[in-house]
Amino acid sequence: MLATNKDLQLAARKGKYAVGAFNTSNVEITQAIIEAHEEMNAPVIIATSTSAIEYCGIDILAGIVRQLAMKAKIPVSLHLDHGTDYELIVNCVRNGWTSIMIDGSHAPLEENIAITREIVKICHAVGISVEAELGRLGGIEDNISVDERDARLTDPNEAERFVTETQCDTLAIAIGTSHGAYKFKGESKLAFDRLEQIREIVDIPLVLHGASSVIPEIIEKANKFGAQLGAAKGVPAEDIKKAISLGITKVNIDTDLRLAFTAGVREILVEKPEVFDPRKIVGAGRKAIKQVVKNKIELLGSANKA
């Protein structure tokens, strides 16, 4: 069944767990994500980026996710990830998305407030929930200055004002994570103090982007079968757990699925060179993603919360 991020995250806050938001761009990734959640009776957010929508086609991607969601017994949200384009957002609304992220985080505060308010007005009129973002994603390694650290991390007072003025339903915050497979040069370093301060002052559900762990065994496997993923590093599972205990209720994961897919496909191509059926090749990637998603459900505590 279909659901909104707002409803899923409010339930997660009450139950002290987080809902995973997993990115998709095709049928196999979507099947892997939804099947894993069905088998573990967990709610899920299916995230689609602008480039994923361009890759698959907006109506096709909507069809894939909505058909699988409607067949499933668990609640599924179809969510636009990092929406920046007004036309695309309106098209997602028309094509049955249940949740929209408006990402105005690169704009100055006043502009971010103005764009977000406008999207909230449109989406709330038709029952769609809105995630907004404040702060800049990016590492906060020891060598960055206090000023730079402050400029990147979400400011709790600004967040309070932002939420009041925009009426967004959920808020993505910057506490030191970044997108992709190369998040930290040294050890992972998240600003948990900042998360606590924001949590105290902001009362809508919070979102953590860039939350892939870049699982060492998967990197090893991919490299064993020919990948070159040298210094890849993500957010350790313990840090994700801590972030959830401090109030994060949506955890965004894309990179870990990409890596699992790559390792699975590389393995079958190397181990079974006689195989040339695309279903077997892509199917191996789908199977690898499904296992990673199941492990994430365990980590986030969302099993049996559907």
Active site residues: 81
- The one of ligand G3H, ligand 13P, Zn ion, none whose footprint includes residue 212, by CB under 5 to 8 A per kind, is ligand 13P
Q: Contact letters (x/-) for ligand 13P, 173-202, by CB under 6 A?
A: ------xx----------------------
Q: Rounded CA gap, 9 and 16, in Å? A: 10
Please report whether residue 253 would count as binding ligand 13P according to CB under 6 A: yes
Question: How near is the Cβ of 271 to ligand G3H at its closest, in Å?
Answer: 28
Yes or no: say if 286 and 31 are a contact pair by the CB < 8 Å rule: yes
Yes or no: say if 277 and 241 are a contact pair by the CB < 8 Å rule: no
Question: How near is the Cβ of 199 to ligand 13P at its closest, in Å?
Answer: 19
Applying CB under 5 A, the span of 154-162, 207-215, 256-264, 268-276 interacting with Zn ion comes to 207-215
HEC assignment per residue over 72-104:
CCCCEEEEEEEECCHHHHHHHHHCCCCEEEECC
Q: Rounded CA gap, 91 and 87, in Å? A: 6
Please report whether residue 52 would count as binding ligand G3H according to CB under 6 A: yes
Please report whether residue 209 would count as binding Zn ion according to CB under 5 A: yes
For residue 71, what are its two tokens? 């067949």
Non-local CB neighbours of 126 within 8 Å, separated by 6+ positions? 93
Please report whether residue 255 would count as binding ligand 13P according to CB under 6 A: yes
Question: How near is the Cβ of 2 to ligand G3H at its closest, in Å?
Answer: 22
Please report whether residue 81 would count as binding ligand 13P according to CB under 6 A: yes
State in Å, rounded, how far the first CA of the chain is from the last one.
Answer: 10
Interface with ligand 13P (CB under 6 A): 23, 81-82, 179-180, 209-212, 252-256
